[in-house]
């Protein structure tokens, strides 16, 4: 276990473990972060992503953040766009398209199914890719500039 601090003073407990759902590189539950062992010391981006979720937790509180993340697709989209923006800063190659695809297909945001075609995914993919690069986020059907 490692302790990282967000906002300079609030602790995040980071565990490197393979006890994660299949296809998941990491997850944050409140101030507790779990990241796959293979990323320890090799991928600062995934740690930055998960620490962004810890910051969201501290800003909103455990109950409110957890409920909003679980039940509000708009909030979940906002939270993931913020986290992936932070993660992007840690790589020299351009991963915006890959991250946009993860957001569109991996977070139950757009009512897509396994049978969804590229034409079904493309509009959402383009919107999410724009949000990752622009400092703008879609929330409740409206675009907003983030501070």
Q: Please check the confidence at residue 142 and state whether its pLDDT lies above 70.
A: no
What local confidence, expressed as pLDDT, does residue 135 receive?
Answer: 73
In terms of DSSP bridges, do strands 26-29 and 10-16 run parallel, antiparallel, or are they unpaired? unpaired
**Strand extents, DSSP E, the chain:** 2-6, 10-16, 26-29, 32-35, 136-139, 142-145
- pTM, 2 dp: 0.87
Residue 27: exposure state from Cβ atoms within 10 A (0-12, 13-18, ≥19): middle
Q: Identify the bridge partners of residue 5 per DSSP, sorted by sequence position.
A: 11
Where do the domains of the chain lie?
1-71, 72-147
Dihedral in degrees, nearest 10, Cα atoms 118, 132, 45, 101: -10
What local confidence, expressed as pLDDT, does residue 65 receive?
Answer: 92
Confidence of residue 13 (pLDDT cuts 50, 70, 90): very high
Q: Are 51 and 83 in contact (CB under 8 A)?
A: no
Q: Under DSSP, is residue 61 helix (H, G, I), strand (E, B) or coil?
A: coil
pLDDT digits (tens, 9 = 90+) for 48-86: 999 999 999 999 987 899 999 999 888 898 899 999 999
pLDDT digits (tens, 9 = 90+) for 70-129: 998 888 988 999 999 999 999 999 999 899 888 988 888 877 665 666 667 777 788 888
**Helix, strand, coil content of the chain in percent (nearest 5):** 50, 20, 30
pLDDT digits (tens, 9 = 90+) for 20-33: 999 899 999 999 99
Q: Which of 11-20, 104-113, 127-136 has the highest mean pLDDT?
A: 11-20
Measured between alpha carbons, how far is 110 from 98 in angstroms, rounded to an integer? Answer: 17
């Amino acid at each position: 276990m490692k302790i990282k601090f967000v906002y300079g003073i609030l602790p995040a407990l980071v565990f490197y473990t393979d006890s994660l759902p299949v296809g998941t590189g990491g997850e944050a539950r409140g101030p507790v972060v779990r990241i796959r062992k293979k990323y320890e010391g090799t991928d600062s981006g995934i740690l930055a992503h998960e620490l962004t979720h810890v910051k969201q937790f501290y800003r909103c509180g455990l109950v409110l953040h957890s409920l909003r993340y679980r039940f509000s697709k708009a909030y979940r989209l906002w939270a993931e766009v913020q986290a992936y923006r932070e993660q992007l800063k840690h790589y020299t190659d351009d991963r915006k398209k890959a991250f946009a695809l993860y957001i569109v297909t991996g977070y139950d945001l757009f009512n897509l199914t396994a049978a969804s075609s590229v034409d079904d995914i493309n509009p959402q993919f383009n919107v999410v890719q724009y949000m990752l690069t622009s400092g703008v986020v879609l929330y409740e059907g409206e675009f907003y500039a983030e501070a």
